[in-house]
Amino acid sequence: MAATYAVYTSPTHTPIPNHLPTLIVTPHGQPSNILYSYLHTNFNAENYLLTPSPQGDLCVAKLFPPRHSGGHHNSSASDPGHGGPASNPASKVVRCEASRNLKWSIVNTGVMSPIYKLSLPSPDSTELPLFQISKPNPNAPFWSMFYFAYAGHLIPPKRIEFGKIQRNPPGPGGGGTRISITGKTPEEKAVWATLGEGNEDCVEWVVLCAALNLLDDEILKAAERNPLAAQNPQSPQNPNPSARPAQPQPAPARGPAPAQQPGQPMRGGAPPGQRPGQPISPPAGRPAPGPGQIPYNAPRTGQPMPNGYAQLPQAGVPMAAPRPPAGYMPQMPQPPPQQPPPPRRF
């Protein structure tokens, strides 16, 4: 028996701060037919696999990922489940429960790349392995779901791949993540009888919970690789959140200012005691400009401004005295004439 599912982010559940997004599971090619919803609660420490019903959503499975300090994922600790110190094995275990008193665990034992192992509890404290999920190599675009079958005495167990987890190509009816259980050969079909005859739906819950737990880890890793985008999502006010703010430009050196088009307002503020928009009054000793004449200190097209300023002094900054015209020699004050000393008396 083959089965193919698709996983999407729920479009109807409002995002909750400090919680992973709600995911929905649908049959492949039927995005409107929701089979399950995967809801995160208690800061991602209690997750529920819900199925819709006429009476409302019913819980079919619960996941208890390890609680990590600060509510943040730590992928540096040998990449354990949902974070936590690598020295504590309990911090890697995701406990799972379902109907019919079904319990199992998911442990990430990978070091260089994740390897998820699913197992059933056993009374003699030795867990019974179910199956595993890992990539064939760290750069592979998909995850393999497989189990090991006993092949005989002194014969290595046989690896049987029964499914894959990979991204759907974008397009109409595409997108999201695809979970496929091939079920072509008798060995691949035997995975449905892992939990006994008549418990195929429980096997479906176990497979989907393992895949959804893997997607949670991938979402957390992507948020760690791009924290700026996670904290400042794209919005009309900020269409490019990863763009750096503009760096301040250095102030231009003094020198001739670029030509200014006629009719444009002058740059900079007005001099002290001058209101913005009011013409600059000529200095003392100079007549006021007549009709048709260019006011004093008005910029001429293609000419530098007086006193070598690139722009007019701003408000609050004293204006330097105008330069004297060429050939002008300042009149130095003459010392007062000396009077003859009084006659000396002998």
Give, rounded to a whole angstrom, the gap between the first and last alpha carbons of the chain.
Answer: 144
Task: Tell me which DSSP letter residue 327 carries.
Answer: T
Span 250-283, pLDDT tens digits:
444 444 444 444 444 444 444 445 555 555 555 5
pLDDT attached to residue 175 = 82
Backbone phi and psi for residue 102, each to the nearest 5 degrees, phi listed first: -90, 130
Residue 85 φ/ψ region, left for φ over 0, alpha for ψ in the -120 to 50 degree band, beta for the rest? beta
Backbone phi and psi for residue 274, each to the nearest 5 degrees, phi listed first: -115, 130
Instruction: Please state, in angstroms and rounded to a whole number, the distance separating the CA atoms of residues 330 and 323.
Output: 11
Which parts of the chain have pLDDT scores under 50? Answer: 70-87, 232-272, 294, 296-313, 328, 346
pLDDT attached to residue 319 = 53
Query: How is 286-297 classified by DSSP, letter by letter?
Result: SPPP-TTSPPTT
**Confidence (pTM):** 0.62
Burial class (CB in 10 A: 0-12, 13-18, 19+), 111: exposed
Tell me the domain boundaries of the chain: 3-224
Cβ-contact 210, 38 below 8 angstroms: no
- Tokens found for residue 19: 């919680």
Instruction: Please state, in angstroms and rounded to a whole number, the distance separating the CA atoms of residues 202 and 61.
Output: 9
pLDDT attached to residue 150 = 87
The H or E element that residue 163 is part of is strand 158-167
pLDDT attached to residue 67 = 78
Instruction: Name all contacts of 108-111 with Cβ < 8 Å and 24+ positions apart.
Output: 108/79, 108/80, 108/81, 108/217, 110/78, 110/79, 110/134, 111/78, 111/79
